[in-house]
Amino acid sequence: MIAVQAGRNEAAVATLGKAIGLNDKTPTCMAVSPKPCSGLDRVDEALGHYRQALALDPNYLEVLYNCGNALLRLKRYREALTLYDRALAIEPRFAEAIHNRGSALFELALYPEALAEFDRALANIP
């Protein structure tokens, strides 16, 4: 993760690939691996990693949220809403997920619903 923090995403992807090869049954490992992919605009690849992590642990809050974010970046708004809804079923006051849910609704031109989510996100900021 030091490579990611230093902006060396290619090195991070290679290192994480080796780590996953050693233990691809750990949801935490699968959850961390997409981050450098996203930094390289390899969002489809990151999404695949998130889906693998969710197959291992379907209620992994961070992965649900990040998978929703990847789908939002890919303009797959309805799918993103599903992931945000799953995250919010686990943590209803997750302000970032609420906000991004509002962003997906906005992109779908569901403006009143989006505004309500933005207001709800503001009310849930810690």
Q: Percentage of the chain with pLDDT > 70?
A: 68
Cα 32 to chain centroid distance, Å, stands at: 11
The two tokens of residue 123 are 């009310």
Which of 41-55, 65-79, 110-124 is the least confident region? 41-55
Tell me: pLDDT of 34 over 70: no
- How far is the C-alpha of 11 from the C-alpha of 83, rounded, in Å? 29
Q: What is the pLDDT of residue 25?
A: 63
Confidence label for 1 from pLDDT (cuts 50, 70 and 90):
very low
User: Which residue in 42, 36, 45 sits closest to 9, CA to CA?
Assistant: 36
pLDDT in tens, 55-65: 999 999 999 99
User: Which residue in 69, 68, 35, 65 sits closest to 49, CA to CA?
Assistant: 35
Largest CA distance in the chain: 48
Mean pLDDT of 40-58: 89
Quick check: do 1-58 and 75-126 share a fold? yes
Taking residue 16's Cβ as centre, other Cβ atoms within 10 Å add up to 22
Q: Could you tell me the residue ranges of all domains in the chain?
A: 1-58, 75-126
Confidence label for 41 from pLDDT (cuts 50, 70 and 90):
confident
Tell me: pLDDT of 68 over 60: yes
Q: What share of the chain is helix, strand, coil (3-state, %, to 5)?
A: 75, 0, 25
Third-level CATH fold of 75-126: 1.25.40
* CATH of region 1-58: 1.25.40
- How far is the C-alpha of 36 from the C-alpha of 12, rounded, in Å? 6
Mean pLDDT of 8-30: 55
